[in-house]
Amino acid sequence: MKRHYIFASHGTLASGVLNSVELILGKTVKCLDAVRLR
């Protein structure tokens, strides 16, 4: 949770949230792709 607050404090709240969401979605997609390849 602390990392999300740090990102939000450095930039605008909107950009911090968007970056966090993009990272989470990116990791989820990569995991799903890895499972499909198997």
The structural domains of the chain, with segments of one domain joined by +, span 2-37
Higher pLDDT residue, 1 or 13?
13
pTM of the model: 0.46
pLDDT confidence band for 25 (50 / 70 / 90): confident
* Burial of 22 per CB tally in 10 Å (0-12, 13-18, 19+): exposed
Distance (Å, whole) CA 36 – CA 30? 10
Within 13 A of 37's CA, how many CA atoms are on the CB side?
Answer: 6
pLDDT of residue 38 exceeding 80, the answer is no
Percent of the chain at pLDDT > 70 equals 63
